[in-house]
Chains A and B, each alone.
Chain A
Amino acid sequence: MKKGHLMGLCMGLAFCLILCLSPAQTVLAGEDFGPDRNGQTVEDGAVGRGVTINVYNWGEYIANGTDGSLDVNEEFTRRTGIRVNYTTFDSNEALYSKLVGGGADYDVIIPSDYMVSKLIDERMLAELDFSNIPNFRYIDERFRDPDYDPGSRYSVPYTWGVVGLFYNTDYIEEEITSWSALWDDRYAGKILMFDNPRDSLAIAQFMLGQSLNTTDENDWAEAAALLKQQKPLVQAYVMDRIFDKMESSEAWIAPYYSGDAAILVENSDSIRFVVPEEGTNYFVDAMCIPVTSGHKAEAEAYINFLCDPEIAGANMNYVGYSTPESAAKEYMDDEMVESPVYYPDEEILERTEVFVNLPENTSKLVDRLWAEVKMGGPGESMVLVAIILGFLGVYLAILIYKRQKRKRELA
Chain B
Amino acid sequence: MKKAGARFYTFLVFLFLYAPILVLIVFSFNDSETASRTVWGGFSLRWYRKLFEDRLILEALCNTLLIAVVSAAVSTVLGTMAAIGINSMKRLPRRIMMNITNFPMVNPEIVTGVSLMLLFVSAVRLFGGRSLGMGSLFAAHITFCLPYVILSVLPKLRQMDPNLYEAAQDLGCPPVKAFFKVVLPEIMPGIVTGLIMAFTLSIDDFVISYFTSGTTQTLPIYIYSMTRKRISPEINALSTVMFAVVMVLLIIINARNAGERKTEKKRSSMEV
Contacts and interface: CB of A to CB of B under 8 A. Distances in A.
B214 A103 contact: yes
A2 B231 CA distance: 58
A8 B88 CA distance: 7
B86 interface: yes
B85 A14 contact: yes
A102 B121 contact: yes
A60 B223 CA distance: 10
Nearest to A268: B34
Given A27-B135, A247-B36, 4 more contacts: A3-B166, A26-B127, A28-B134, A103-B212
A51 to B, nearest CB: 13
Contacts of A239: 227-228
Nearest to B166: A3
Contact of B85 (A11, A30, A91, A260): A11
Nearest to A53: B215
B151 interface: no
Interface string B80-99: 01101111110000000000
Contacts of B59: 35
A13 B78 CA distance: 9
A394 interface: no
A361 interface: no
B54 A26 contact: no
A31 interface: yes
A56 B215 CA distance: 8
B148 interface: no
Interface string A68-93: 00010010000000000111111100
Interface string B160-200: 00100110010000010001000000000000000000000
A114 to B, nearest CB: 15
A242 B87 CA distance: 55
B138 interface: yes
- Interface size classification for chain B: 35 or more
Contacts of B229: 58-61, 240, 260
Residue of A12, A14, A26, A89 contacting most chain B CB atoms (<10 Å): A26
Interface in A7-31: 7-8, 10-15, 17-18, 21-23, 25-31
Interface of B: 33-39, 50, 53-56, 59, 63, 74, 78-79, 81-82, 84-89, 117, 119-121, 123-125, 127-136, 138-139, 142-143, 146, 162, 165-166, 169, 175, 179, 211-212, 214-217, 221-222, 224-232
A94 B121 CA distance: 17
A209 interface: no
Nearest to B125: A102
A294 interface: yes
A29 B132 contact: yes
Given A33-B215, A105-B215, A59 B225 contact: yes
A66 interface: yes
A196 to B, nearest CB: 10
Given A29-B124, A105-B130, A10 B146 contact: no
A240 B230 contact: yes
A35 B222 CA distance: 15
Contacts of B121: 101-103
B116 to A, nearest CB: 9
B225 A240 contact: no
A26 B56 contact: no
Contacts of A65: 53-55
Given A2-B175, A35-B63, A88 B225 contact: yes
A87 B27 CA distance: 26
A66 B50 contact: yes
B226 A7 contact: no
A104 B215 contact: yes
Contacts of A89: 225
A25 B132 CA distance: 10
B124 A244 contact: no
Interface of A: 2-4, 6-8, 10-15, 17-18, 21-23, 25-35, 54, 56, 58-61, 64-67, 71, 74, 85-91, 94, 101-106, 239-240, 243-244, 247-248, 260, 263-264, 266-267, 294
Given A7-B84, A11-B81, A103-B136, A247 B38 contact: yes
Nearest to A34: B215
Nearest to B59: A35
Contacts of A266: 33
Residue of B78, B123, B212 contacting most chain A CB atoms (<10 Å): B123
A59 B232 CA distance: 11
A244 B125 CA distance: 45
B64 to A, nearest CB: 12
B27 to A, nearest CB: 11
A25 B85 contact: no
A267 B34 contact: yes
Contact of A3 (B119, B130, B165, B216): B165
A72 to B, nearest CB: 11
Contacts of A6: 88, 175, 179
A372 to B, nearest CB: 24
Contacts of A94: 225
A25 B38 CA distance: 44
Contacts of B35: 243
Nearest to A107: B215
Contact of B226 (A21, A59, A104): A59
B33 A263 contact: yes
Contacts of A87: 215-217, 221
B225 A54 contact: no
A25 B138 contact: yes
A29 B129 contact: yes
Contacts of A64: 54-56
Contacts of B89: 7-8, 11
Given A3-B166, A29-B214, A67 B135 contact: no
